Structure 1
Amino acid sequence: MSEHHAPIMTAHRAGLVGCRSCGRVWPADQTECLRCHSELVPPDRRSLGAVWAWLIAGFIFYIPANLFPMLKTSTFGGLAGNSESTILGGVVELMHYGNYGVAAIVFVASIVVPISKFVAIAWLARAAGRPATVKVAHRRLVLYEFVEFVGRWSMIDVFIVAILSALVQLGFVASIHPGPAAVSFALSVAFTMLSAQSFDPRLIWRGLPLRNRKD
């Protein structure tokens, strides 16, 4: 025996459009939000092109960010040797010296978080506007909010390099300089953030059925 629930009403089906800046809803023929004066644009799957473009650009720069050195260290003007370390190389070196906590933070912030964001944004872009139940739509929204939350921690590796480069400048004795991977990693994070910002979360609700059917 099948059970029918009330139709699922969304802003789009009610003839309303939501403001992406402040969240206020207005009639569909309104072109400007009277609260924050932002332009009102209805959700459109064609906007996903920008999401994919920024995401691919971020992934392209993420590859050299892991292949090239993140830090360049010089001791006694190079007489005692110069060393270069990649992100993974730095994690392994930190573990070698017993700094497991710092190694875990660097690994999560530089490897786990970026890869998770790539996968999550790509999945959201593919699922946006597709048929979904209310429960599935809520899962997509939670995933989107997770991407927004972890985005603020994406630059921690670049901050570490910047701090070390500023503090460890002892002239002939020792010096630390950022490697080419630092620029690539910063660009990768920036492009990924732009990809997440380009995603319209209103598309998550566009795929809801007119009626929730539970068999």
Structure 2
Amino acid sequence: MLTWALTITGALLLIPANVLPVMTVIYLGAGEPSTIIGGALELYQNGLWGIALIVFVASIAVPVMKLVGLVILCLTVQLRLNVAPRQSMRIYRVVNAIGRWSLLDLFMISILVALVDMGAIAEVEAGAGSTAFATVVVVTMFAVRAFDPRLVWDVYEDRLRANNKKHRETE
């Protein structure tokens, strides 16, 4: 139940994380707030497609993949789906491993805010979207920790017992 609650919370927070501005770069008194997607598109349009790809993967693809993986794991256990336990464990390990990479964007924003404070020339301000995104990252990390992977094996063992019982009854 806790994993479900944290996963749903993360999914709901992903909306403001992608809609609200993550940061505003003010250069010579002018600047506009930028969302995660807007920032990635701007980087791509300026020829920085490699950095744009990193931002897209770390900020959009990874959190979505993590949430989808958590939903699959929760459904597998709750609905007792006939999924190979090795597959579920692979999903669990991937979801657990990729979570930390979402912190890359927050690290970049914090470095920019700390380094680019040149008074009237340039300034970087973190936006509300960065707070929502940080919360998504932390909440999904807690969701992975709250999920007990032994439940996957319990479902598998229950299916084996049911199949053995069924097999004995037909003999």
TM-score, normalised on structure 1? Answer: 0.71
Q: CA deviation at 1:156?
A: 1.0
Q: CA deviation at 1:148?
A: 0.7
Tell me how far apart the structure 2 counterparts of residues 191 and 131 of structure 1 sit (CA, whole Å): 25
Q: CA deviation at 1:157?
A: 1.1
Equivalent position of 2:31 in the other structure: 82
Q: Secondary structure at the match of 1:106?
A: helix
Identity of aligned residues (%): 38
Equivalent position of 2:65 in the other structure: 116
Tell me how far apart the structure 2 counterparts of residues 207 and 126 of structure 1 sit (CA, whole Å): 11
Q: CA deviation at 1:82?
A: 1.9
Alignment match of 1:60 (pick from 12, 19, 24): 12
The answer to whether residue 126 in structure 2 is matched with residue 174 in structure 1 is: no
The structure with more strand, counted as a fraction of residues: 1
Equivalent position of 1:50 in the other structure: 2
Q: Unaligned stretches of 5+ in structure 2?
A: none
Tell me how far apart the structure 2 counterparts of residues 55 and 173 of structure 1 sit (CA, whole Å): 42
Task: Write out aligned runs for 1:1-215 (5 A).
Answer: 49-76=1-28, 78=29, 81-128=30-77, 130=80, 132=82, 136-208=84-156, 209-210=160-161
Q: Unaligned stretches of 5+ in structure 1?
A: 1-48
Return structure 1 stretches of 4+ with deviation > 6 angstroms.
Answer: none
The structure with more helix, counted as a fraction of residues: 2
Give the partner amino acid of 1:159: F
TM-score, normalised on structure 2? Answer: 0.88
What's the C-alpha RMSD, in Å, of the aligned pairs? 1.6
Q: CA deviation at 1:131?
A: 5.3
Larger radius of gyration: 1
Q: How many aligned positions are there?
A: 160
